[in-house]
Structures are given as structure tokens and as C-alpha cells.
């Protein structure tokens, strides 16, 4: 079996990246993580990636004259790793249209809400403020509109009495770590397309 090559973009702790790395350790998993790129050199996820023998790169957007040049450099790095797919995993930068269109159909993101509900940041606090009975997460294709691309998989969790943003975040994160590897496997097997 030839595995599809995947690059992961992170900004921080990288727990979703870790879940993807763990999934790829199964011999029949259809993809491998060939590189992890961070826009923050201090992202703890970079260390985890290196410990797993995965190539890493970090690029600060502030060091580039323009967002386009920053993103072109990301594309060059991803191309040097010969990636088939790109997974955004807590990558905290809004991506420009050129970059998104360059990878469209081959780039996915995990978002902590039941999209199309709660695009953007602070989803857990917003769900609590709204008094919703359920919450969840979505793996979706990345298209130019923020958090607007079609969903591949979703998971739901109940909102429980006494929940805080922290307890709800933790409950959703458990599900993120399940559906992201499942969605990437579906993509790599050609079972879903944009
Ligand atoms: C996750 O909640 C993910 O849904 C969101 O950013 C967070 C990243 O966490 N896009 P981690 O770095 O994967 O632990």
C-alpha cells in the first residue's frame, strides 16, 4: 500500500497533530505525516513531531514582507516534502486566498464547533453563553471563506449542567482526536472529495 503524504500546520500544543501521528502508526492507515510546519518556533507540537522522527519547520509571518511571501514559502516547504494533503491543526492564522486555492480539495481543518454554527474563535464560551444543549467539532475542507468549507465528519457532545469553557473544551477535544484521524483516512482513501 502506498501511503499518502501529509503535512500538518500547527501553532501550539499540537494535540490533534499527535492524534494524527498516533493513527498513522497503524500499519493499514492510508497516510503518513511527512512534515509539521509551525508559524511559532516555540510551539510545543514541534517537539512532539521531532520526537516521532518527523521533519519540522517554523516560519514567523512577521519575518516576511507580506502574507503572500510567507504563504508562498509555506507552499515551497510543503512541496519539498511532496505532500498530497495538508491538515490544519490549531494553525492560528487566517490563510490568504492564493494559498487556499493552491491546496483546495487537499487541505482540511478541525474546528471546535458544529459548523456552520460558531465559526471563528471562543466557540466553547459562545456555546455556553447561548445555552445550547449540544456542542461538538467538525473536520472540513478549507475554502476561502473562514470555517466555511464542506464538512467531512462531525462529532457531538452534550453540554452538561455546570460546564465551564474548560470542561466543555476537554469534552470536545476527546472527540476531535477521534474524528480527525478518521476524516484524514477517508480523504487519503479517496472516499471523500470537495
Ligand atoms: C483545537 O481545539 C482545534 O479544534 C482548533 O484549535 C485547537 C488546537 O488544539 N482548531 P491542538 O493544538 O490540536 O491541541
What is the average pLDDT value for the chain, to the nearest integer? 97
Find out whether the peptide bond into 116 is cis, omega within 30 degrees of 0: yes
- Give the β-pairing of 55-58 and 85-88: unpaired
Atom of ligand 1 nearest to the CA of 13: 12
CA of 1 from ligand 1 middle (Å) equals: 30
CA-to-CA distance for 6 and 83, rounded, in angstroms? Answer: 5
CA of 14 from ligand 1 middle (Å) equals: 7
119-168 pLDDT per residue, tens:
999 999 999 999 999 999 999 999 999 999 999 999 999 999 999 999 99
Q: Which residue's alpha carbon is at the smallest distance from atom 7 of ligand 1?
A: 90
39-78 pLDDT per residue, tens:
999 999 999 999 999 999 999 999 999 999 999 999 999 9
CA of 15 from ligand 1 middle (Å) equals: 7
- Domains, the chain, in order of start with CATH, read 4-188 (3.40.50.170)
pLDDT above 70: percentage of residues in the chain:
100
- Secondary structure (3-state) at 10: strand
CA-to-CA distance for 163 and 70, rounded, in angstroms? Answer: 39
Atom of ligand 1 nearest to the CA of 111: 4
Amino acid at each position: 500500500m502506498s501511503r499518502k503524504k501529509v503535512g500538518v500546520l500547527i501553532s501550539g500544543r499540537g494535540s490533534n497533530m499527535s492524534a494524527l501521528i498516533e493513527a498513522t502508526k497503524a500499519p493499514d492507515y492510508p497516510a503518513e505525516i511527512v512534515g509539521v510546519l509551525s508559524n511559532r518556533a516555540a510551539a510545543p507540537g514541534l517537539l512532539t513531531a521531532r520526537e516521532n522522527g518527523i521533519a519540522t519547520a517554523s516560519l514567523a509571518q512577521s519575518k516576511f514582507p507580506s502574507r503572500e511571501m510567507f504563504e508562498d514559502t509555506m507552499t515551497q516547504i510543503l512541496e519539498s516534502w511532496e505532500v498530497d494533503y495538508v491538515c490544519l491543526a490549531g494553525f492560528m492564522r487566517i490563510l490568504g486566498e492564493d494559498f487556499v486555492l493552491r491546496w483546495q480539495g487537499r487541505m482540511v481543518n478541525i474546528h471546535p464547533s458544529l459548523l456552520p454554527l460558531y465559526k471563528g474563535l471562543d466557540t466553547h464560551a459562545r456555546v455556553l453563553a447561548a445555552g445550547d444543549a449540544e456542542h461538538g467539532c467538525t473536520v472540513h475542507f478549507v475554502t476561502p471563506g473562514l470555517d466555511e468549507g464542506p464538512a467531512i465528519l462531525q462529532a457531538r457532545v452534550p453540554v452538561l449542567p455546570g460546564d465551564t469553557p474548560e470542561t466543555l473544551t476537554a469534552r470536545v477535544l476527546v472527540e476531535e482526536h477521534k474524528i480527525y484521524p478518521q476524516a484524514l483516512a477517508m480523504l487519503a482513501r479517496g472516499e471523500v472529495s470537495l
